[in-house]
Chain A
Amino acid sequence: MSQLEIKALHVNLAEREIVKGITLTVKPGEVHAIMGPNGTGKSTLAKAIAGHPDYTITSGEVLLDGRSLLEMEPDERARAGLFLAFQYPNEVPGVTIANFLRAAMQARLAEGEELDATGYYKQLYAKMDSLKIDHKFTSRSVNTGFSGGEKKRCEILQMAMLAPKFALMDETDSGLDIDALRIVSDGVNTLRSSTLGILLITHYQRLLNYIVPDFVHVMYDGRIVRSGDKDLALELEAKGYSWVKKEIVHA
């Protein structure tokens, strides 16, 4: 059975422990939301799973379909079926979205195998249509001079094309106004399927009005302090993060 298993994961950034033992299993078709105040280790968790070189896993395990991800390079993890949607996607000047995605798809083929260009563009345009993205978008350089909303749509488009088994979405709502938020969450909802597991990281409950999670986990000081269903997010919204601190952590 396909699943992403995070087991007792501890992560350091510059000798400081940020993630202090997280255990979580995501199955295909599930959307897990991780909520928590700023600086609590949510983004660190996502980047560490994706293999960012600044983060050191001090103990614990991350398994994708039973295979350990931790010994793999970030690109091997991606090819194994992991996708990280960035909070702040990087610019790649001079490289068009079309060429960037084409290179990423080519990288998934066996040595000597050539991506069929016609089929690729057909697929790209079909995905863009379903996400309501203008075809002209593909000739722009990746994230270069993009608005916050355009960057996030570019992430969603990449996610659609690369068809991961598990997506880590880091603060997908950051920097978005309400219209952009709706567009991006519509995109995510379009991609929701029984074969995709999503770990959705967010600071605000409002995103969860658009992308309704199956599970909600509250993270505080590097740990998951409470898990529940979507009602937990509403409770958190009503009581605020100070409630987490007082009632949950010190209870």
Chain B
Amino acid sequence: MSSLSDTELIPTPPPSENSANSVAGIDQALGDFSYDVKYALDAGTGLTEKTVDYISAVKKEAPWLREFRMNALKAFFAKPLPTHWATRDLENINFDKIRYYLASGQKPKRTWDEVPEDIKRTFERLGVPEQERKYLAGVEAQFDSEAAYSNIREVVSKQGVIFLNSTAALREHPDIFRKWFGKVIPTGDNKFSALNSAVFSGGSFIYVPPGVKVSHPLQAYFRINAENFGQFERTLIICDEGSEVTYMEGCTAPKFSTSTLHSAVVELVALKGAKIQYITVQNWAPNVYNLVTKRGLALEEAVIKWIDCNIGSHLTMKYPGAVLKGRKARGEVLSIALANDGQHQDTGAKMVHAADETTSNIIAKSISVGQGRSTYRGLVHIPRHLRGCRSNTECDALLINTNSRTDTYPAITVRGDLNSVQHEASVSKVSEEMIFYMQSRGLTEGQAMSLAVNGFVNDLVRQFPMEYSVELKRLIDLEMEGSVG
């Protein structure tokens, strides 16, 4: 397939940078686990026009795209860090030490048997549940920057669905890609969307033709497997009129001692009557800065639904949103965030009502453990001229320890008399009495904590596909393991 030709061209990295394989022999003692992988394609560290040129050349991109990247790079340099509202912790990201492009240099594999053993071993360690093993034959698994494995596209292509990595899609379906690319989230939306627009690599492209309902959820796994390696995937999903798709993204990463940046951009386009559900369960290593921009555009009677679970990372800033542009469009965000010691989950949702009778629903639950900090930021905007719009926000925070922290910053602007809005917020604490009650039934303190936290998020988790709720429960158990004592 022509989309695989990336690997045929191996240009020399910019000479001023570190040698390509300097990250290959990672010190195993540094963290959890990592397998020796030869990085054949590497843009070196730091970010200049040369880096962007290199990425564009490796991907044999059209001139318009190279120009798009260059403009984005300028926007990135020009924009200040958003520390006037966000945490100053962002200043600790050293953009010169980050590796902006890295591919494994392997062709994407067509069958599971062809997937290298060390990658399989990593999946094993990530604990992909048994229920999912059967799906693995259909998994689009991104191994570092490029997809290491994919074949579900053959199944869905029978329905006329296009499911490719974004590099291949730009080459094979430039017209439809370009029509919506950067339209939901413009390059200059924020500093990190600009960064992604400059150096993006990997991510998925999905186009679902009119009326097609994709029966199987499409899946992708992302992880970071190299120290100082930033991952900048770009995902664009377009559901044509009356079509439906569910996309699931799972992220886990091995631990490393220095900071890593993940900055994705995900754009969803739901045309008239279409329905897109985007599910993320992620568990970044505790040194990752996870700064992601996710937004969907919903036309008439279309539905955008984000299910977003943030566990791990050093700092996550993510506010999935929907622009409700057509009459009766609906946007929904269900989110769970768990902030452990040293972690800050700054998450929330944005709902922009731009047509009559649009509805939005935000349910956000956060858990703060130890000195973990969770922040909810919500934006709901309903302008004066609209009528019949409804919006509901519920945000609940659970504090595990007395030194945990949670903050809520809802920004709700509703004008006009013909719209309705609800906002509810609660903060609760796992009480000593509740833990004692559970312990008196034979559960250890850690098991009791896990159960309390799982109970807190249960009504949201029930809406997840089975295999994801199982995975999420295990992630919570793992996080709570070390939180007592």
Q: Nearest chain A CB to B429's CB is how many angstroms away?
A: 12
Given contacts A52-B436, A53-B432, A103-B447, contact A92 B455 (CB under 8 A): yes
Distance of A162 Cα from B440 Cα, bound (Å): 11
Given contacts A93-B455, A94-B454, contact A162 B439 (CB under 8 A): no
Contact residues of B: prevailing secondary structure: helix
Given contacts A94-B456, A95-B451, A103-B451, contact A108 B434 (CB under 8 A): no
Within residues 307 to 358 of chain B, which ones have a CB less than 8 A from any CB in chain A? none
Say yes or no: is A100 at the interface (Cβ < 8 Å to chain B).
yes
Residues of B contacting A78 in the complex (Cβ-Cβ under 8 angstroms) = 439-442
Residues of A contacting B448 in the complex (Cβ-Cβ under 8 angstroms) = 75
Contact assessment for A84 and B440 in the assembled complex, using a CB-CB cutoff below 8 Å: yes
Contact assessment for A162 and B442 in the assembled complex, using a CB-CB cutoff below 8 Å: yes
Q: Nearest chain A CB to B54's CB is how many angstroms away?
A: 50
Within residues 404 to 457 of chain B, which ones have a CB less than 8 A from any CB in chain A? 431-434, 436-445, 447-448, 451-452, 454-457
Within residues 93 to 131 of chain A, which ones have a CB less than 8 A from any CB in chain B? 93-95, 99-101, 103-104, 107-108
Distance of A99 Cα from B454 Cα, bound (Å): 11
Say yes or no: is A50 at the interface (Cβ < 8 Å to chain B).
yes
Distance of A89 Cα from B439 Cα, bound (Å): 13
Contact assessment for A95 and B444 in the assembled complex, using a CB-CB cutoff below 8 Å: no
Interface footprint category on B: 20 to 34
Distance of A83 Cα from B439 Cα, bound (Å): 10
Contact assessment for A75 and B451 in the assembled complex, using a CB-CB cutoff below 8 Å: no
Say yes or no: is B96 at the interface (Cβ < 8 Å to chain A).
no
Distance of A108 Cα from B454 Cα, bound (Å): 20
Q: Nearest chain A CB to B448's CB is how many angstroms away?
A: 8
Contact assessment for A162 and B459 in the assembled complex, using a CB-CB cutoff below 8 Å: no
Distance of A54 Cα from B433 Cα, bound (Å): 10
Contact assessment for A90 and B437 in the assembled complex, using a CB-CB cutoff below 8 Å: yes
Given contacts A50-B440, A75-B439, A75-B443, contact A90 B455 (CB under 8 A): no
Which residue, A54, A78, A92, A101, has most C-beta atoms of chain B within 10 A?
A92
Q: Nearest chain B CB to A111's CB is how many angstroms away?
A: 12
Contact assessment for B441 and A100 in the assembled complex, using a CB-CB cutoff below 8 Å: yes
Say yes or no: is A86 at the interface (Cβ < 8 Å to chain B).
yes
Residues of A contacting B434 in the complex (Cβ-Cβ under 8 angstroms) = 90-92
Binding site for A on B (CB under 8 A): 431-434, 436-445, 447-448, 451-452, 454-459
Q: A92-B434, A95-B458 are in contact. List 19 more A-B contacts (CB 8 A).
A: A51-B439, A51-B440, A54-B432, A73-B444, A74-B440, A75-B439, A75-B441, A75-B443, A83-B440, A89-B437, A90-B433, A90-B437, A91-B434, A94-B457, A101-B441, A107-B442, A141-B455, A162-B441, A162-B442
Q: Which 8 residue pairs across A and B have the least CB separation, nearest first?
A: A94-B455, A94-B458, A95-B455, A90-B437, A74-B439, A78-B442, A104-B441, A75-B439
Can you identify 22 A-B contacts, CB atoms within 8 angstroms?
A: A51-B436, A51-B439, A73-B444, A75-B440, A75-B443, A75-B444, A75-B445, A75-B448, A77-B440, A78-B440, A78-B442, A83-B440, A91-B434, A92-B438, A93-B456, A94-B456, A94-B458, A94-B459, A103-B451, A104-B441, A104-B443, A107-B441
